A and B are shown apart, each in its own frame.
Chain A
Amino acid sequence: MQEIPISRTLKFWEGLKEGRVYATRCTNCGKLYFPPNADCPACLTTGLEWVELSREAEIETFTHVVVRPTTFQQNKPYTVAIGKLKEGVKVLTWLTGFKLSEIKVGMKVNLAAKVTPEGSLTYEFTPLTAK
């Protein structure tokens, strides 16, 4: 597959390298976007400002993915969760550092930027104590 263009969300990806997770905010209507939009679907303003997100998220739902797609065959089964931040935006990502039986809807977790051992830029939910 050809590379996905990231020129307009470059600050987001660079932020992950620095341990920050950015959203965008519309300079006209004030709406906050995660994943970051470069353009505002609410008022069609272009060129949004970057806002660093807070770290504490509340888990709204989760699943443990056992049967995996081709590009994730090398991974062990993983847990995907959706968590809500105090700013109101939600994040879908992996939840790591817990036993499956410990994970509950409503629990608080930490949102962390991450660079994988292979050099991929990503983010994940981790236990609050792991800040």
Chain B
Amino acid sequence: MKKVAVIGVGNSRFGVRTDVTISELAFEAVKPSLEDAGLAASDIQFVALGSVGAGAWYEELLPAVVISEYCGMTRAGLVRCEAACASGSAAFFTAYSAIASGQAEIAMALGAEKMREIDNATSMEWIGRAGYYLWEFHNFGITFPAYYALYARAHMAKFGTTEEDLALVAVKNHKYAAMNPIAQLRNRITVDDVLSSMVIASPLKLYDCCPLTDGSSSVILASEDKVKELKIETPIWVAGIGYSSGTANLSRRPDFVGLEASALASQRAYKAAGITSNQLDVAEVHDCFTIAEIMAYEDIGLCKKGEGVKLLRDGQTEIGGKIPVNVDGGLKAKGHPIGTTGCSMIYELTKQLRGEAVEKTRQVPLKNYIGLAHNVGGTGHYCYVTILKR
């Protein structure tokens, strides 16, 4: 396989973006990513798009086609990737594979999602169906917060995790989002704010949940030959990618205190990159709900199973701690446009590993110049873990 590097990134402002269409929103990420790489749109040979809501949450059925026309990439090879909330990472893996295999020399992984054109109950309906519709939604109306609430309750029962512990994740991630101009929820909050917010699906409350978000993110990848030819100053290399999946029916899972797909995907990624979790300088993990971040610490090996809360309470996942996690605000506060998130994690890691986090207060210290992105689709239905190295 050929070596592949990230050579350009761009990210739109996240939030309620009823001011723009899906194409206009994508343009806000595509243009800066091309400028960052020093390329023209016509240089992109292949585009893999992560987007879930096509024809359901927003009006376009063929978003890869309309976005490519709008951004000047018509005639590139196109595909839309679906891996639920990990669609952006699936797109990244697809674009990476196109180059690693020698099929293309320059490719784009693009995430574009519009979730705010429909009302809240309809969103709960669509996303709640993202499991095994027939057996777990049709008669029982389980929602996405409810899926993760089942994990939260089991984690609390087994390890003594408390609602205050869950709240600490939200407090941390809002703190960093407040420093991130592209984030959706830039208000700092307290543990009491979380505990007193309305119950969505017990024990999860409003501030335990990520928002519904419109946003786009673009990542340009190139082969080693192209990196040299283009004289890219700071290429960020793809060191390893791991992937796995979990059963559609939650009732067929062995337990509800962690996601097996996360554990397997991360083990595969570490092996592919030839590193251990101790070598990471920074991590982006899938915190769609507060419990998800705590489980991620444990599943990807930042600590032992059941010790995620200790890591959090001790401030070890903040800047200055053992391993800073989600210092862009995470899904929880930066926002979670579900097909976009995987690419936006790569955007943040690239900026961090270059040492150019836009706001210096958010720059993590760099020792090994290695970062990890952990992106879950559904409730551990899909998982991709991507490791980048400068």
Binding site for B on A (CB under 8 A): 4, 34-35, 60-73, 75, 78, 80, 82, 89-94, 100, 105-106, 120, 122
Contacts and interface: CB of A to CB of B under 8 A. Distances in A.
A75 B124 CA distance: 14
A63 B379 CA distance: 15
Contact of B153 (A61, A67, A73): A61
A100 to B, nearest CB: 7
Contact of A90 (B121, B134, B251): B251
A65 B140 CA distance: 10
Contact of B143 (A35, A65, A73): A65
B146 A63 contact: yes
7 contacts: A35-B251, A61-B154, A63-B203, A67-B200, A68-B143, A69-B128, A90-B251
B42 interface: no
Interface of B: 120-122, 124-125, 128, 132, 134-136, 138-143, 145-146, 149-154, 157, 198-204, 249-253, 255-256
B250 A82 contact: yes
A101 to B, nearest CB: 11
Given A63-B201, A93-B140, A105 B251 contact: no
A92 B136 contact: yes
Contact of B141 (A60, A65, A82, A91): A65
Contacts of B251: 34-35, 82, 89-92
Given A63-B149, A69-B121, A90-B252, A105 B202 contact: no
Contacts of A90: 251-253
A67 B145 contact: yes
B379 to A, nearest CB: 12
A92 B125 contact: no
B199 A82 contact: no
A75 B140 CA distance: 11
B153 A92 contact: no
Given A35-B251, A61-B154, A78 B141 contact: yes
A89 B200 CA distance: 28
B89 to A, nearest CB: 26
Nearest to B154: A61
A68 B124 contact: yes
Contacts of A60: 154, 255-256
Contacts of B249: 35, 92
Q: Which 8 pairs of residues, A with B, have the shortest CB-CB distance?
A: A72-B141, A63-B149, A69-B125, A105-B157, A61-B154, A69-B124, A90-B251, A70-B125
Contacts of B154: 60-61, 105
Contacts of B152: 63
B250 A68 contact: no
A34 B202 CA distance: 26
